[in-house]
Structure 1
């Protein structure tokens, strides 16, 4: 399962990335709202985690624009905005859930799983050449031989197989340090 985190505080985004990858999610991070929307609109995410206050574009605006194209993809706000009116406004803008900072990771993880409950991709099987990946059992086979992987290795392999043939945008590649 792929999650996009749009959060401008590196401490929070790194914490989320590490924790979610340990739980076998593939996670992409963006700190700028406009770039986050571009990534979200690629359609390759199962869930979005958005901060409200972002440089470039607010999480509210990301939600509104994203909902026009992807009305069913879950969105969870992670924000310091903590009044009842702000919570109601965030949910009415299109978010599925709303968590106030500071938050407990365990609670966020349960809320993510609730939002992803019943998604058919949890029980998919992917193949690439001789490699077969079973997402429901977290198993990988090369031919008939099982390959034991850590959760991070499994999440990375799932990400690579799901995105085989996709061309990354040049800004993302440059951010990763690729010279081309």
Structure 2
């Protein structure tokens, strides 16, 4: 994994949350971020966009986050792509389930926009340390 995180795919169906997260990640974090509003849109976009990390909502209509992650893992060169889930469904057993699916971390909603970038970078760094 490269040392510096720069390019993210963000999957969130709630436009008001997406606006806050995009502003935070782009303006405060300096990341290049592509937003998808559904799991299917993420699948249609991810290979061509080639993100370093996916930040994804768990509860979405149609295809939820865990199913989207499962489908991402079936795509060429996406088996080890780091994924962070963002969710309000964040009891300990739920977080363990998401980690068991292969996510590198869980960010609990509601989140603090002022610390979101730091939290994403910390999870990215921990995942990189695990890979070494």
TM over 0.5: yes
Cα offset, 1:108, TM superposition:
2.6
Q: TM-score, normalised by structure 1?
A: 0.60
Once the two structures are overlaid, the 10-residue window that deviates more, 68-77 or 5-14, is 68-77
Q: Which residue of 2 aligns with 1:90?
A: 98
Gapped runs of 5+ residues in structure 1? 120-180
Query: SS at the partner of 1:91?
Result: helix
CA-to-partner distance for each residue in 1:93-131, whole Å, 9 max, x for gaps? 111101111111244312321344397xxxxxxxxxxxx
1:103 aligns with 2:114: no
Q: Secondary structure of the equivalent of 1:41?
A: helix
Tell whether 2:65 aligns with 1:59: yes
How many residues were matched structurally?
Answer: 119
* Residue matched to 1:47: 53
* Paired residue secondary structure (2:106): strand
Structure 2 counterpart of 1:20, from 6, 22, 25: 25
Q: Distance in 2 between matches of 1:27 and 1:43?
A: 10
SS at match of 1:16: helix
Higher helix content, 1 or 2: 2
Match of 1:77 in 2: 85
Moved over 4 A (4+): none
RCO higher in 1 or 2 (8 Å CA, sep ≥ 6)?
2
In terms of mean alpha carbon deviation, does 102-111 or 87-96 score higher? 102-111
